Amino acid sequence: MIKSYLQDFKPYPPGKPISELKRELGISGPIIKLASNENPFGPPPRAIRAIKEAISDLHRYPDPAAYNLRKALASHYKVEPEEIVLGNGSNEILDLLVKACLSPKEEALMSEPSFLMYEKFVTAAGGKAIKVPLKNFQHDLQGLARKITEKTKIIFLDNPHNPTGSIIYHEEFEAWYKALPKELVIVIDEAYGEFVDDPKVLKPLFFKNFSPPVVLLRTFSKAYGLAGLRVGYGIMQKKLARILNAIRQPFNVNSLAQVAAQAALEDRNFLQKVLETTRTERKRLTEALKALGLHPYPSQANFIFVDLHQPARKIYEALLKKGVIVRSMEAYGFPSFLRISIGTPEENTFFLSRLEEVLHET
């Protein structure tokens, strides 16, 4: 029989795809998607070439150890390949960490809100998710520390935070970290880490080999433009990496994803262009939203968290009808907020014009 605590388990709510929105609303004109924090510039050219070259070998299983990709990542981060675990997206690394470190009825700490999959993986494993509200739209590290008990095994921190775009500073984390029990595992989820340009941000690898161990998670889905291939990775102590590699699926990262991710990592010109454009557009959008009388919060990610000072649901729905998909924050507990992914300059201009129309109409 199905476990009782899974009876009311709800699936992760993904953003609406463009094709679905066109069918639902009968829109024939242009539609832009600024809801899922994707890279709007497409995949790196080198990744596309690598995929084309690897297609003829699709009848073979992929390298189960992803030797070449792990070696490339180890060189990039100046760590050892044995400290790296690859996953079908960084989501799989989260799942593996919970399976390896959390027993039924034990606890994991996380902020509220944060990435929904933290709670889902913990609940699915029979554990208990303990959530601590944000403080000034940032992780409340001291509040999390006060919730630590003998049952606490993992602390999840997304940095930059989703959906606010705020970050944890290195000095702040270091002071907090020194007082933590040594039996914990601290997971720093940097899905949007490449977009950060504040030099004071937390640098998780500094704490990798201390106790409690700190795990760094990153992904090729955002800045590297490979969301459709699902490639993520974790960097951690060898002992923990060995366990995760032992319990993961043997062919969890497919062959095209492996060669594309390695090529993307080497395509520095593409990444630099993405980061420069995103940061420029992040600043432009922030100023434009302020000019419309709204309250965008400072962001270090590729999205902006903005307070509309009114129920956001009607603005969200009106934008849908005008061909713009953004993310309502009502389900996150912020009914007056939207989260807006940063698109191309053209997409952002289109969004701002439609938003101005909607605000005048409502």
- Annotate 285-311 with DSSP letters as a single string: HHHHHHHTT-EEPP-SSSEEEEE-SS-
- pLDDT at site 275: 98
Helix, strand, or coil (residue 128): strand
Is residue 320 within a helix (H) or strand (E), and if so which, with residue range? Answer: helix 312-321
* Of 260 and 26, more confident: 260
Residue 269, classed as helix, strand or coil, is helix
Give the residue with greater pLDDT, 74 vs 2. Answer: 74
For residue 19, pLDDT beyond 80: no
How many angstroms separate the CA atoms of 42 and 8, rounded? Answer: 37
Region 67-80: what's the mean pLDDT? 97
Domains and CATH numbers, the chain: 4-43+269-361 (3.90.1150.10), 56-266 (3.40.640.10)
Above 80 in pLDDT, residue 189?
Answer: yes
With bands split at pLDDT 50, 70 and 90, how would you rate the model's confidence at 322? very high
Residue 208 has pLDDT above 70, yes or no: yes
User: What pLDDT is attached to residue 187?
Assistant: 98
Q: What does the pLDDT read at residue 190? A: 98
210-227 tens-digit pLDDT: 999 999 999 999 999 999
Torsion of CA 354, 359, 360, 361, to 10 degrees: 90
Whole-angstrom Cα distance, residue 275 to residue 282? Answer: 10
pLDDT of residue 30: 79
* Whole-number pLDDT of residue 144: 98
> 235 pLDDT exceeds 90?
yes
Rounded Cα distance between 258 and 70, Å, is 9
Percent of the chain's residues with pLDDT above 90: 89
Mean pLDDT of the chain: 94
pLDDT at 276 over 80: yes
Give the pLDDT of residue 362: 75
- Element (DSSP H or E) covering residue 251: none
pTM: 0.93
Q: What is the mean pLDDT of the segment spanning 45-68?
A: 96
